[in-house]
Amino acid sequence: MAGTELQSTHVDTAEVPSAEWGWSGEAPKLFRTMGVIAAIFLLFMIIGNHHGRVEDWYLIGFAALLVLIIVVDAVKRRRPR
């Protein structure tokens, strides 16, 4: 393997501290998955021991906002730059 070298991009650890231990990117699929799980968890919180419906509307609103953010992010990432 004398003639082959691995090409690696040099990332300054002062700018990206996580590059020191080998990770300097994003995980968009993980973030979207965790966002959907959080929205589902918010909707499951509707089932509870509260009597008023105001809490339900807040939970539904926050879950809808979270799903909207995920959808907008997915659409923006699909567009060519």
Backbone CA torsion sign across 58, 60, 64, 70: positive
Going by C-alpha positions, the residue among 36, 27, 20, 43 that lies closest to residue 77 is 27
Q: What is the mean pLDDT of residues 24-39?
A: 85
Instruction: Provide the pLDDT for residue 49.
Output: 83
Which two tokens mark 40?
């589902």
Average pLDDT over residues 32-56: 92
Q: What is the value of pTM for the model shown?
A: 0.66
pLDDT at 10: 64
Helix (H, G, I), strand (E, B) or coil at 23: coil
Question: Mean pLDDT over all residues of the chain?
Answer: 81
